[in-house]
Amino acid sequence: MGQLPLMPEQASTVAGQVDLLYYALIALSLLFALPIAGLTVYFAVKYRRGARADRSGQITATLPYELTWTIVPTLMALGVFVWAATLYFRIERPPADALEIYVLGRQWMWEFQHPEGQRELAELHVPLGRPVKLLMTSEDVIHSFYVPAFRVKQDVLPGRYTAIWFQPSKVGEYHLFCAEYCGTDHAVMGGVVYVMEPAAYQAWLGGGAAGGPQAPQTMAAAGEKLFSGLGCSGCHRMDGSGAGPSLVGVFGSPVQLQGGQSAIADEGYVRNSILLPQSQVVAGYQPVMPSFKGQVSESQILQLIAYIKSLGAGQAAPGASQTAQPPP
Ligand code: CUA
């Protein structure tokens, strides 16, 4: 696909497909708009008042015309729908082998945590040629994560997790924006995504970038520290002998709750269990868990999630509570 100078660079595997759909919609719109506009002017002039145009020969048998201009545009619209929906589902569903990076939006800064432990502000380093999934939440108001060169945009909401994914197709630096008005400094809530060769990315992960001498602690290790530091491990024992259920192999599995309901233990479920434990008590257990609201930050909750994920996952249920909202 050739590139109009007005379009951002194409730097992800879906960018070309998104642009193709966009160009097709423009072409389809022009296909209808140009003849209609042209004929409007033509007929307005030809049949203007006083013009000696032939006004006899009115059409009476219109059924074939009616059918044509109903069926053809309907099929065209359905075709566009199927095409766009297929692409949308592809963009909305992260592949299972995607690299997972955690994103926090806050007024007015983007913060990223890599599972290996690297943290960065307003900058995101990703490897070339691998699908990258971002699991995102906000500490305050609604933000929106937007990288035009990747053709991805997703709202980032307080109190729940949303996800997007992309696979970078070109080494380079790409602008990152907040695409949802979020207060005074919304306009500067941006950053840069650095797409690196896989080897360079591995070297970067190794700890050089932060300038610190020691290798960073992985998110799961940080989560494990919190898990025992906050006393979670006293009740959630590995062998299930505690006052709370064991969390081994729970992530991604269905959980039976008191009252007969069940839930999938995804990121949203874990967060809710930490902050509002009484709202979803696991069947067979007493509602004794205290809320940890105010004691853990969103960033620490992400580390606890990473730790619980590291305890093993059940049947994969990717994105169950991350149902994406359409961008504004
Ligand atoms: Cu954050 Cu706009």
For the stretch 234-287, pLDDT in tens is 788 887 777 788 888 788 888 888 888 888 888 888 888 888 888 888 887 878
Q: Give, using CA atoms, the residue closest to atom 1 of ligand 1.
A: 143
Given the structure tokens 């991350």, which residue do they identify? 322
Instruction: Give just the sign of the alpha carbon dihedral 316, 317, 319, 322.
Output: negative
Radius of gyration of the chain (CA): 27
Query: For 206-229, how does the pLDDT look when each residue is reduced to its tens digit (9 = 90+)?
Result: 765 444 445 678 888 888 888 888
Q: How far is CA 33 from CA 26, 28, 29, 47, 66, in A?
A: 10, 9, 6, 21, 19
Question: What whole-number distance in Å separates Cα of residue 163 and Cα of residue 102?
Answer: 9
Ligand 1 atom nearest 189 alpha carbon: 1
Task: Return the pLDDT at 320.
Answer: 37
- Please give the pLDDT value at position 215: 62
* pLDDT value of residue 3: 55
Report the separation in Å between the CA atom of 98 and the middle of ligand 1, taken as the mean of its atom positions: 26
Rounded to whole angstroms, how far apart are CA atoms 236 and 213?
A: 34
Q: CB–CB of 144/180 below 8 Å?
A: yes
265 CA → ligand 1 middle, Å: 29
Cα 256 to averaged position of ligand 1 atoms, centre (Å): 38
174: exposed, middle or buried (Cβ count in 10 Å: 0-12, 13-18, 19+): buried
* pTM for this model (two decimals): 0.75
Phi first, then psi, for residue 49 (nearest 5°) are -60, 135
CB of 189 sitting under 6 A from ligand 1: yes
Lowest mean pLDDT segment, chosen from 90-94, 138-142, 214-218: 214-218
Q: What is the pLDDT of residues 49-71, one digit of tens each?
A: 888 888 887 777 788 888 998 99
Q: What is the pLDDT of residue 2?
A: 53
Do 265 and 252 contact (CB within 8 A), yes or no? Answer: yes
pLDDT of residue 132: 95
Cβ of 143 below 6 Å from ligand 1: yes
> Among residues 126, 121, 125, which one has the least CA distance to residue 98?
126
Note whether 125 and 196 are within 8 A (CB). yes
